[in-house]
Chains A and B, each alone.
Chain A
Amino acid sequence: MKTYVVYCHPLPDSFIAAVRDRALSALSKHEVRVTDLYAEDFRPELSAWERTHHLDPPQTKPEIAEYAANLRWCDTLVFVYPTWWSGQPGMLKGWIDRVWVAGVAYELPPGTNRIRPLLRNIRRLVVVTSHGSSKWINAVQGEGGKRVISRALRVLCSRRARTTWIALYGIDRASDNDRMRFLDRVERKLRSLR
């Protein structure tokens, strides 16, 4: 498996950092590339220039070249982040806004409004995340963050791409034991990936 892990949390001593470490150890028998958005000081705001030139070839955007190459290389894409306001943190959303551009993730043939996928190499999307609120509240809110990945991004991947969702709900009220069990679940789930 060629695994690309995109990790997003501002604090190195956070629970999500521990989740990432456990995930990486579970994936150690595979080829793994890692992006740590905060450590790399990634700029998440799509600029006016990038917006104006959003359909230009990716060669004109050297800042995103490495991320784009990793996306085209991997067959398994793993996101590790905390869910805030029912979605990806602004930092991670900005990485999606700036890197999943025309020529990398999709093509938009002139005169149409339906995009053509370019990431057919990705056959599995994995999300490891935590939610402050309960599973029930997240269901009522429509699981916005989950659907961004399992729908909006997945349609750009392999036709048979599957999403693996590993989430700790209600982390604000989770005990140490709940957290330990979640780390074990992350490890077990990632080890069983084929």
Chain B
Amino acid sequence: MRVLVVLAHPNADSFNHAVATRALESLTAAGHEVDLLDLYALGSKAAMSAEERAAYHTDQPILDPMIAAHVELIRTAEALVFIYPTWWSTLPATLKGWLERVMVPGVALVFDEAGKVRPGLKHIRRIVGISTYGSPRRYVWAMNDNGRRTLTRALRMICGLRTRCRWLGLYAIDTASADERARFLLRVEKRMGSL
């Protein structure tokens, strides 16, 4: 399978980067073709620009060549893996803004004649989210885990009927021991190996 891994954490020595490294190793070892987008390292902008917004409903909604390259990766991918820290119950701005800038009409969705959204990502067979949370699981649940819902519901809705979602969360990371982190990395390795 062709897998696109999207990582959004500002620190290159973060635990999220360790997760991405482990996921990449495991996916490659399992024989998948893997591309990684480290959004911070690429300098990906979190804000859709005025020009991009003005172009959104036109035939040419993509203006940034880097975004165009990312769109090509999305078009050929069969699985999308998102790795990010949950901040304020949802995606970091860098990941949220990237979604807005790549998931434009003609790529992720098509507006039909009545103005209704039709799916554009039917070729995506798997969506995987891997997130770290400052809060314990119960608290995350009470807050509605909005980042997870954005990916497994809003994004899922523009995929095919048979697209499946997987979720891996490390909760209460501020008080997680080295052992708990190591076990989480092992879970990431196993899940990615069996994708």
What residues make up the interface of A, taking CB atoms closer than 8 Å to B?
9-11, 14, 38, 42, 44-48, 50-52, 84-91, 93-94, 96-97, 100, 108, 111-115, 132-133, 137, 140-145, 147-148, 151-153, 172-173
Across the interface, name the chain A residue whose C-beta is closest to B87: A97
Contact A90 B94 (CB under 8 A): yes
In addition to A113-B172, A114-B136, 9 A-B residue pairs with Cβ atoms within 8 Å of each other are A84-B100, A93-B46, A93-B93, A115-B134, A132-B117, A141-B153, A144-B147, A144-B149, A172-B111
CA distance A97 to B90 in the complex (A): 10
Q: Any chain A CB within 8 A of the CB of B21? A: no
Is B54 on the interface with A (CB-CB < 8 A)? yes
Q: Which residues of B contact A151 (CB under 8 A)?
A: 89, 142-144
Q: Is the CB of A144 within 8 A of B146?
A: yes
Query: What 4 A-B pairs are tightest by C-beta distance, nearest first?
Result: A90-B97, A94-B93, A144-B146, A142-B149
Complex CA–CA separation, A174 to B139 (angstroms) = 37
Cβ of B178 under 8 Å from chain A: no
- Other-chain contact of B40, A48, A85, A94, A108 (Cβ < 8 Å): A48
A14 and B50 alpha carbons, distance in the complex (Å): 10
Residues of B within 8 A of A91 (CB): 46-48, 93, 97
CB pair A11–B46 under 8 Å, yes or no, is no
Question: Nearest Cβ distance between residue A177 and chain B, in whole angstroms?
Answer: 16
Q: Name B111's closest neighbour in chain A (CB-CB).
A: A172
Q: Is there an interface contact between A87 and B143, defined as CB atoms closer than 8 Å?
A: no
Residues of B participating in the A interface, judged by any CB pair closer than 8 Å: 9-12, 14, 40, 45-50, 52-54, 87-94, 96-100, 103, 111, 114-117, 134-136, 139, 142-144, 146-147, 149-150, 153-155, 157, 172, 174-175
Known contacts A97-B87, A152-B88; is A11 also within 8 Å of B143 by CB? Answer: no
Q: Are A147 and B144 in contact (CB under 8 A)?
A: yes
Asked if residues B47 and A10 are in contact (CB atoms below 8 Å), the reply is yes
Distance of A140 Cα from B149 Cα, bound (Å)? 10
- Is B50 a contact of A10 with CB atoms below 8 Å? yes
A148 near B146 with CB under 8 A, answer yes
A10 touches B88 (CB 8 A): no
List residues of chain B with CB within 8 A of the CB of A143.
144
Which A-chain residue is minimally distant from B176 (CB atoms)?
Answer: A113
**Given known A93-B91, A93-B96, A144-B90, contact A113–B48 (CB-CB < 8 A):** no
Please give, as numbers and ranges, the residues of chain B lying within 8 Å of A137 by CB-CB distance.
Answer: 157
- Chain B contacts for A44, CB-based, 8 A: 46-47, 93-94, 97
